[in-house]
């Protein structure tokens, strides 16, 4: 009986995918919500998978200095390579104006940058997994290419984004509006699927038609034109699959998305957020999660990590902004009681050279730590810190391929087939708690 | 059954047909330009476009540098070598900084090239030349970020432009000698001792025959051997004989000691190649609707045959296609989703709006999903409906508002010619000047109808016109007026049209879903 039920339901849903491209009157996502494809865990497209799990990606652009983020204070080589910019171990007196690193329970010889105190609090609450030495073979030191490698999940940096492929593999053929939202002017390649396309906006107030600002009388006719859907179309849309009906349906979707997103973001957050660009992005994401948007992946980013010169102050500020923003976001989620639904993944396109350069900064490097944050993660420090002596052209050798981390996120958190999405089998390091 | 590849009757080349031609074989034009094409008549109008009879673009003198990314000089190499031995970190850091400066300068140059090309598309009197250049850029897709050499991208752009309506064989041979492509698809690493199949595979799959159209994995492997040794030095193609595999190969049923050029010749003999090129032309110029109709299939077959008959000369084929019944058939009017570039360039060229800021237009193109010199993958831009989603639709509507009114989400674009931060004025009245009666007066409703069908490239339909009328009535006659009175006798009050209202109407028209089609 159960099996039969499941079978019919899946057929029903598959049919829903097909019908969505033909039906002429209903915007895609309403139709899908009605079919239970979004939001309702009991009617997931994969039995037993709660649809409402959310992944938030934070991209640190420019190449974050991993060695000064998770500090290998137990290794003297670190201080030989970085006489001016090395951070002392926990308990040591301030050096170069920098306080000492923060000790991590259960980790030997490594600690967090002193300005990551807010992140350490989350760590102490068992909400952080630090994955050490993440990279890939034949590392590319170009920002663009290495970022594309991370975003495509392919060493040739070509093709669609890895999260775009995640969506492409969940309901083939029918994109879901609002399934993936990036805060920023540009949608990241990571979210671009062959079918699924992300929504991107800098701020919700810009996710609207600006023509209405020219003259108030324009708003009403605009709304009627763009909310008509294909049904009320005047001419030419008698065929439901015509180019014009497609555009009218998308126009209606855009208006509804705009309404939802702006309404969500207009609400005050439940907790105060600091005044940083990343905090603002996470605040918007928090608001959208709280409002029950059907979005599965949110993408935030923070730049400025390309610290070639005098990096101590710059990098310290970035660390502080990052940690405080993430902490506020985590508090917000907890206050909303959505903390169990959300995992945040933090990455950068590469780490930096082991040796400091002559300008008190560091040049492009290779492997670096990643963070997974949330109630679902297996807390602690995962993997060994890469050797500071056994180097490849002055750079760290990676210990964990980033696609293995993706595999864990996909399989253990998103409950998706990682091999299909990553197009190869990557050993799953199981970075999530078994109950997750 | 009638042959849909035959030309239409000359008398059927009316205003709407001429506008359709100008949109597809170019980036649209003003009402006056459309009328000029009608007067030329079908054959001359097509020749005018296909033979690039218009004026050359004026911004040819743009200066780009070919040596920003020069290799290190022997002196620099020696300096670096000694600095490494002596652990002279200062010198090493200085050389690294210089290298990074060169890279930053090159990125600035590719940004300038994007502006240069977009301006060229807007200004050129030979719109089909730029449009075909864009077509080949998407066909033989190569991305700057992978090769990081702006001059090589510009050389490739030149290859496309000079051969865009010439012979496809020259394009195919050119592309396997093109430094940007050789680098992009790793052929600079394709050596006899360790063949790299990337170029051979994409050459067959994406550039000539199309996936699943009659070649095998073995043809790829053997083709890759034929392409070994094709690399480049600095800015020039270089054949490295030392690493070329001169041995015997079997490709597509032929045997011989084939070279890269031979590989191309063998491919061109395949009917699949002419069909694939015909298909790509069809999707770009005739229709990108998800299903291809029976007439469409027939047109592709006949285009392919025309390509073979013309030994891959493109001009005669384009001439036939742009005169064909199928090209002008009702099913193919407004059947293509404008690319972001088409959207911007056509808005400027047809409505005559100011360019406002080429920088911002380049940015808008990126956000709408078409970054010039950076197609998303070697497959190029998938085009059609993939251009459109809820976020790009707002960007498209807002980009049109920006061009028409100067207003943007980032604040108004300042008039480059004046201080004061006001947008550059746009006189939209030229779109309706031909409707003035003997006293110079204009009928507002007539203007609405004329501008809407012009801007949308076809009859907007009664419901759309009703919305435009509703706006005009809400702003009323010349002095605005009492809304209570207006609501009772609005049908007798004739609203007046002026530049400001016409701009507002254009913004509304550009926000209609069908504005995204051409």
**pLDDT tens digits, A322-349:** 999 999 999 999 999 999 999 999 999 9
pLDDT of A85 reads 94
From chain B, the residues in CB contact with A198 under 8 A are 389, 391
The answer to whether the CB atoms of A177 and B390 lie below 8 A apart is: yes
The answer to whether the CB atoms of A250 and B513 lie below 8 A apart is: yes
Tell whether B439 and B501 lie within a shared domain. Answer: yes
pLDDT at B116 over 90: yes
Is B401 part of a structural domain of the chain? yes
pLDDT at B308 over 60: yes
> Rounded to an integer, what is the distance from CA A14 to the centroid of its chain?
28
From chain A, the residues in CB contact with B337 under 8 A are 243, 247
Closest to B93 (Cα-Cα) out of A140, A394, A245, A90: A394
Nearest CA-CA distance, residue A103 and chain B, Å: 32
Is B52 part of a structural domain of the chain? no
pLDDT at A108 over 50: yes
Please tell me the least confidently modeled range out of A204-218, A385-399, B360-374: A204-218
Phi, psi of A306 (to 5 degrees): -85, 70
Tell whether B357 and B391 lie within a shared domain. Answer: yes
Tell whether B463 and B401 lie within a shared domain. Answer: no
From chain B, the residues in CB contact with A241 under 8 A are 290-291
pLDDT of B500 reads 94
**Across the A/B interface, how many CB contacts are shorter than 8 Å?**
161
pLDDT of A357 reads 86
The answer to whether the CB atoms of B337 and A250 lie below 8 A apart is: no
Is B353 part of a structural domain of the chain? yes
Of B89, B386, B508, nearest to A357 by CB-CB distance is B89
Please tell me the least confidently modeled range out of B268-277, B332-341, B484-493: B484-493
Contact predicate A376/A413, CB 8 Å: yes
From chain A, the residues in CB contact with B508 under 8 A are 211, 218, 221-222, 225
Q: What predicted TM-score, i.e. pTM, was given to this entire model?
A: 0.84
pLDDT of A398 reads 97
pLDDT of B415 reads 54
pLDDT of B430 reads 93
pLDDT of A144 reads 83
Is B235 part of a structural domain of the chain? no
Of A144, A234, A358, nearest to B461 by CB-CB distance is A234
pLDDT at B410 over 90: no
Of A198, A218, A233, nearest to B471 by CB-CB distance is A218
| Structural tokens at position A306 | 């390309």
Domain region containing B499: 428-516
The answer to whether the CB atoms of A211 and B393 lie below 8 A apart is: no
Count of C-beta atoms within a 10 Å radius of residue B308: 17
| Structural tokens at position B205 | 């799959």
Give chain B's domain count: 2
The answer to whether the CB atoms of A225 and B407 lie below 8 A apart is: no
Residue of chain B nearest A177, judged by CA positions: B390
Of B90, B475, B511, nearest to A217 by CB-CB distance is B475
Is B446 part of a structural domain of the chain? yes
Q: What is the enclosing helix (H) or strand (E) of B349?
A: helix B340-351
Higher pLDDT: B409 or B36? It is B36
Tell whether B464 and B503 lie within a shared domain. Answer: yes
B508 φ/ψ sector (left φ>0, alpha ψ -120 to 50, else beta): alpha
**ipTM score here?**
0.92
pLDDT at B447 over 90: yes
The answer to whether the CB atoms of B385 and A214 lie below 8 A apart is: no
Of A185, A189, A246, nearest to B367 by CB-CB distance is A185
Instruction: State whether residue A370 is helix, strand or coil.
Output: strand
Across chain B, what does the average pLDDT equal? 92
Count of C-beta atoms within a 10 Å radius of residue A91: 10
The answer to whether the CB atoms of A189 and B376 lie below 8 A apart is: yes
The answer to whether the CB atoms of B401 and A211 lie below 8 A apart is: yes
Tell whether B509 and B434 lie within a shared domain. Answer: yes
Tell whether B432 and B399 lie within a shared domain. Answer: no
Tell whether B432 and B511 lie within a shared domain. Answer: yes
Tell whether B442 and B394 lie within a shared domain. Answer: no
pLDDT at A13 over 70: no
Is B305 part of a structural domain of the chain? no
- HSE-CB at A391 with a 13 A cutoff on CA atoms is 15
pLDDT band at B411 (very low <50, low <70, confident <90, very high): low
Task: Write out the DSSP string of B149-173.
Answer: -HHHHHHHHHHHHHHTTSBHHHHHH
Domains and CATH numbers, chain A: 53-206+255-422 (3.40.720)
Nearest CA-CA distance, residue B99 and chain A, Å: 12
Tell whether B375 and B449 lie within a shared domain. Answer: no
pLDDT of A10 reads 29
Is B454 part of a structural domain of the chain? yes
Question: Once rounded to an integer, what is the mean pLDDT over residues A399-404?
Answer: 98
Residue of chain B nearest A147, judged by CA positions: B145
The answer to whether the CB atoms of B507 and A308 lie below 8 A apart is: no
Question: Once rounded to an integer, what is the mean pLDDT over residues B431-444?
Answer: 92
Question: Once rounded to an integer, what is the mean pLDDT over residues B420-445?
Answer: 89
Nearest CA-CA distance, residue B53 and chain A, Å: 33
From chain A, the residues in CB contact with B462 under 8 A are 234-235
The answer to whether the CB atoms of A241 and B514 lie below 8 A apart is: no
Tell whether B398 and B365 lie within a shared domain. Answer: yes
Nearest CA-CA distance, residue B309 and chain A, Å: 34
pLDDT band at A8 (very low <50, low <70, confident <90, very high): very low
Nearest CA-CA distance, residue B251 and chain A, Å: 27
Tell whether B366 and B438 lie within a shared domain. Answer: no
What's the rounded Cα separation, in Å, for the pair A54 and A56? 7
pLDDT band at B479 (very low <50, low <70, confident <90, very high): very low
Higher pLDDT: A43 or B202? It is B202
Is B298 part of a structural domain of the chain? no
């Amino acid at each position: 009986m159960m099996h039969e039920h499941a079978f019919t339901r899946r057929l029903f849903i598959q049919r829903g995918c097909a019908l969505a491209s033909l039906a002429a009157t209903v915007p895609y996502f309403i139709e899908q919500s009605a079919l239970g494809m979004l939001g309702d865990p009991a009617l997931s497209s994969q039995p037993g998978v709660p649809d409402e799990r959310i992944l938030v990606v934070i991209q640190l652009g420019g190449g974050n200095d991993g060695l000064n983020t998770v500090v290998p204070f137990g290794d003297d080589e670190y201080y030989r390579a970085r006489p001016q910019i090395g951070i002392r171990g926990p308990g040591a007196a301030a050096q170069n104006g920098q306080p000492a690193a923060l000790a991590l329970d259960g980790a030997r010889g490594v600690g967090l940058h002193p300005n990551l105190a807010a992140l350490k609090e989350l760590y102490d609450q068992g909400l952080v997994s630090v994955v050490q030495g993440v990279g890939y073979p034949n590392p590319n030191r170009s920002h663009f290419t290495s970022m594309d490698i991370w975003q495509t999940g392919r060493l040739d940096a070509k093709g669609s984004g890895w999260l775009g492929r995640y969506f492409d593999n969940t309901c083939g053929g029918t994109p879901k509006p609002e399934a993936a939202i990036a805060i920023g002017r540009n949608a990241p390649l990571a979210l671009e699927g062959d079918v699924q396309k992300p929504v991107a906006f800098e701020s919700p107030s810009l996710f609207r038609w600006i023509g209405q600002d020219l003259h108030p009388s324009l708003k009403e006719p605009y709304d009627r034109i763009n909310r008509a859907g294909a049904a009320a179309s005047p001419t030419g849309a008698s065929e439901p699959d015509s180019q014009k009906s497609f555009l009218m349906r998308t126009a209606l979707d855009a208006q509804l998305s705009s309404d939802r997103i702006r309404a969500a973001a207009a609400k005050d957050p439940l907790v105060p957020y600091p005044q940083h660009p990343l905090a603002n992005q996470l605040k918007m994401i928090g608001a959208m999660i709280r409002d029950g948007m059907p979005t599965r992946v949110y993408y935030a980013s923070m730049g400025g990590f390309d610290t070639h010169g005098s990096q101590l102050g710059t990098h310290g500020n970035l660390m502080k902004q990052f940690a405080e923003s993430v902490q506020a976001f985590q508090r917000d989620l907890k206050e909303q009681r959505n903390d169990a639904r959300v995992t945040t993944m933090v990455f950068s396109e590469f780490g930096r050279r082991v040796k400091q350069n002559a300008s008190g900064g560091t040049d492009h490097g290779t492997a670096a730590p990643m963070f997974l944050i949330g109630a679902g993660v297996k807390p602690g420090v995962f993997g060994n810190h890469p050797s500071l002596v056994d180097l490849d052209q002055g750079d760290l050798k990676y210990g964990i391929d980033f696609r293995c981390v993706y595999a864990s996120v996909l399989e253990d958190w998103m409950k998706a087939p990682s091999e299909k999405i990553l197009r190869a089998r990557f050993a799953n390091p199981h970075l999530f708690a078994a109950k997750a | 059954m009638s042959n849909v590849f035959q030309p239409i009757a000359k008398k059927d080349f009316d205003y709407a047909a001429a506008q359709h031609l100008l949109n597809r074989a170019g980036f649209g034009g003003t009402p006056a330009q459309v009328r000029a094409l009608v007067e030329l008549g079908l054959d001359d109008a097509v020749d005018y476009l296909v033979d690039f009879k218009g004026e050359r673009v004026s911004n040819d003198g743009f200066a780009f540098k070919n040596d920003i990314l020069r290799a290190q000089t022997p002196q620099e190499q020696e300096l670096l070598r000694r600095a490494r031995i002596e652990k002279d970190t200062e010198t090493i850091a200085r050389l690294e900084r210089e290298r990074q400066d060169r890279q930053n300068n090159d990125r600035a140059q590719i940004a300038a090239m994007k502006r240069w090309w977009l301006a060229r598309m807007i200004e050129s009197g030979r719109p089909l030349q730029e449009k075909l250049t864009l077509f080949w850029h998407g066909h033989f897709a190569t991305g700057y970020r992978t090769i990081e050499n702006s001059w090589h991208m510009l050389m490739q752009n030149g290859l496309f432009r000079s051969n865009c309506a010439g012979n496809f064989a020259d394009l195919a041979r050119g592309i396997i000698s093109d430094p940007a492509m050789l680098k992009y698809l790793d052929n600079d690493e394709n050596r006899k001792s360790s063949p790299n199949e990337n170029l051979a595979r994409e050459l067959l799959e994406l550039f000539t025959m199309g996936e699943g159209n009659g070649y095998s994995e073995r043809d790829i492997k053997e083709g890759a051997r034929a392409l070994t040794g094709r690399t480049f030095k600095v800015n020039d193609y270089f054949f490295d004989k030392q690493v070329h595999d001169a041995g015997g190969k079997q490709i597509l049923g032929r045997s011989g000691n084939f070279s890269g050029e031979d590989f191309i010749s063998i491919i061109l003999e395949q009917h699949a190649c002419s069909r694939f090129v015909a298909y790509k032309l069809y999707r770009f110029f005739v229709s990108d609707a998800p299903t291809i109709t029976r007439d469409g299939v027939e047109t592709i077959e006949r285009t392919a045959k025309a390509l073979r008959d013309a030994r891959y000369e493109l001009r005669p084929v384009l001439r036939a296609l742009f005169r064909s019944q199928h090209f002008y058939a009702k099913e193919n009017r407004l059947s293509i989703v404008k690319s972001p570039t088409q959207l911007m360039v056509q808005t400027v060229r047809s409505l005559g709006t100011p360019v406002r800021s080429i920088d911002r237009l380049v940015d808008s193109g990126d956000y709408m999903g078409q970054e010039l010199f950076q197609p998303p993958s070697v497959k190029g831009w998938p085009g059609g409906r993939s251009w459109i989603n809820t976020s790009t639709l707002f960007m498209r509507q807002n980009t049109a508002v920006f061009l028409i009114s100067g207003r943007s989400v980032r604040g108004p674009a300042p008039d480059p010619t004046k201080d004061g931060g006001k947008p550059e004025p746009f006189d939209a009245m030229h779109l309706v000047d031909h409707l003035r009666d003997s006293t110079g007066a204009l009928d507002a409703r007539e203007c609405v109808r004329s501008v809407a069908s012009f801007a949308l490239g076809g009859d907007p339909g009664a419901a759309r016109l009703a919305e435009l009328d509703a706006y005009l009535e809400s702003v009323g006659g010349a002095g605005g007026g009492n809304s209570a009175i207006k609501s009772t006798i609005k049908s007798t009050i004739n609203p007046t049209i002026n530049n400001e209202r016409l701009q507002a109407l254009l913004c509304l028209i550009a926000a209609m879903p069908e504005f995204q089609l051409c």
